[in-house]
C-alpha cells in the first residue's frame, strides 16, 4: 500500500510512522528526517534546507520533490511506502500524483487532527533521539529515567525549530500551505481523518483501522 501521513507540526506523524510502516510492512520516510540527515552530513542540500527549517518555513518545492521522488525510486521501488510530512503543498501533491501515474496511485492519506493549543504544548516539550530519531515528550511520553533513548540508548536533544518563534511560524505555514491538501485528498476519496488527541496507542490503533476501511 502507498500511504501518506498528513497533519500539522506536532500532530504525532513521526510517533505513529514506525508502527504503521511495520503493520504495512513497507519502507517509510519523513521528508524532515531526510533534510536533517543532509544537515548532519553537511551537504549542500543540508545547508540550503537548514536556512529554511530554522525559520519554520518550507524548503522550496523543486528540491523537496526531487529528494522524495528519488527516495521512492531507490527505497520503495514499485512496492508500497509510507510518507510522513510529504506532500505539504499542492505542487508537491500534484508532483507525487505524476510520479505515481504508472501505478494505481496513493491508497490512503491519514490526516491526524490536533488542536493548536495541544500542538504548541507537544512541540515545546519534545525530545528527539540523535541515534534513531525516536520522539519523546517531557510530560506525556517521558524518556527513561537515565535520560537516554529507550530504543537505542542514543542522546536526546531538542529540535532547533521547536523554539517558540519557529513553532508559531510552522503552524502559520501549515494552515496556509498544507491544510488545503485535506480537501484535495478528500475529493479524491482517499482521506481518512483521525482524532489525534487520544493516547498514542489509541491513535495508532484507529489509524491502522482506517487503512483497511472501505474505499
Ligand atoms: P518535519 O520534521 O516534518 O516537522 P513537522 O511537520 O513540523 O512535524 P513534526 O515532526 O514537528 O511533528 P510530528 O507530527 O512528527 O509529531 P511527533 O510525532 O514528533 O519538518 C521540519 C521542517 O522540514 C519543516 O518545517 C520544513 O522546513 C522542512 N520540511 C519537511 N518536509 C517538507 C516538505 N514536504 N516540504 C517543504 N519543507 C519540508 O510528536 C510531537 C510530540 O508530541 C512528541 O513529543 C510526542 O512524544 C508527542 N505526542 C505524539 N503523539 C501524542 C499523543 N497522542 N498524545 C500526547 N503526546 C503525543
Ligand atoms: Mg515528525
Mean pLDDT by 10 residues, the chain (215 residues): 97 94 96 95 96 96 96 87 98 97 94 97 93 90 90 93 93 98 98 97 97 73
Sign of CA dihedral 42, 55, 96, 212: positive
- Asked if 126 is an active-site residue, the reply is yes
Whole-model pTM: value is: 0.94
Per-chain residues with Cβ under 5 A from ion ligand 2: 14
Active site residue 159: yes
Query: How far apart are the C-alpha atoms of 166 and 160, rounded to whole Å?
Result: 8
Q: Is the CB of 156 inside a 6 Å radius of any atom of ligand 1?
A: no
Res 76: pLDDT? 83
Question: Is position 55 annotated as part of the catalytic site?
Answer: no
Q: Can you tell me the distance from the alpha carbon of 192 to that of 198, in angstroms, rounded to the nearest whole number?
A: 16
The answer, yes or no, to whether any atom of ligand 1 lies below 6 A from the CB of 88, is yes
Spatial distance between the Cα atoms of 59 and 15, rounded to a whole number of angstroms: 22
Give the pLDDT confidence score for residue 215 in this predicted structure.
Answer: 54
CB 118 within 8 A of CB 197: yes
Supply 55's cell numbers.
525559520
| Terminal-to-terminal C-alpha distance of the chain | 13
The reply to whether ligand 1 has any atom less than 6 angstroms from the CB of 2 is no
Element (H, E) at 115: none
Q: What is the pLDDT of residue 214?
A: 65
Identify the CA nearest to 9 among candidates 170, 138, 179: 170
**Residue-level pLDDT at 77:** 77
Helix (H, G, I), strand (E, B) or coil at 159: coil
Decide if 26 contacts 1 (C-beta within 8 A): yes
Please tell me the distance between residue 71's alpha carbon and the centre of ligand 2 in angstroms: 17
The reply to whether ligand 1 has any atom less than 6 angstroms from the CB of 137 is yes
- Told to judge if 50 belongs to the known catalytic residues of this protein, a careful annotator would answer no
- The answer to whether the CB of 92 falls within 8 A of the CB of 61 is yes
Distance 76 CA to ligand 1 centre (A): 22
Backbone angles phi, psi at 39, to 5 degrees: -65, -40
Amino acid at each position: 500500500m502507498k500511504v501518506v501521513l498528513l497533519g500539522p507540526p506536532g500532530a504525532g506523524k513521526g510517533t505513529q510512522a514506525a508502527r504503521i510502516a511495520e503493520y504495512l510492512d513497507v519502507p517509510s520516510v519523513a521528508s524532515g528526517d531526510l533534510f536533517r540527515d543532509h544537515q548532519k552530513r553537511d551537504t549542500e542540500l543540508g545547508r540550503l534546507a537548514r536556512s529554511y527549517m530554522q525559520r519554520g518555513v518550507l524548503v522550496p518545492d523543486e528540491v523537496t520533490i526531487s529528494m522524495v521522488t528519488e527516495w521512492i525510486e531507490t527505497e520503495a521501488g514499485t512496492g508500497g511506502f509510507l510518507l510522513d510530512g510529504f506532500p505539504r503543498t499542492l505542487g508537491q501533491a500534484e508532483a507525487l500524483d505524476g510520479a505515481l501515474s504508472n501505478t494505481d496511485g496513493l491508497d490512503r492519506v491519514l490526516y491526524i487532527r490536533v488542536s493548536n493549543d495541544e500542538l504548541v504544548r507537544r512541540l515545546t516539550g519534545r525530545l528527539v533521539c540523535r541515534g534513531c530519531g525516536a520522539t519523546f515528550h517531557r510530560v506525556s511520553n517521558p524518556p527513561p529515567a537515565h535520560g537516554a533513548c529507550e530504543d537505542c540508548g542514543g542522546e536526546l536533544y531538542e529540535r532547533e525549530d521547536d523554539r517558540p518563534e519557529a513553532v508559531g511560524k510552522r503552524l502559520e505555514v501549515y494552515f496556509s500551505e498544507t491544510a488545503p491538501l485535506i480537501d484535495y485528498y478528500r475529493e479524491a476519496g482517499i482521506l481518512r481523518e483521525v482524532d489525534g488527541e487520544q493516547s498514542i496507542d489509541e491513535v495508532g490503533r484507529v489509524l491502522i483501522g482506517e487503512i483497511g476501511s472501505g474505499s
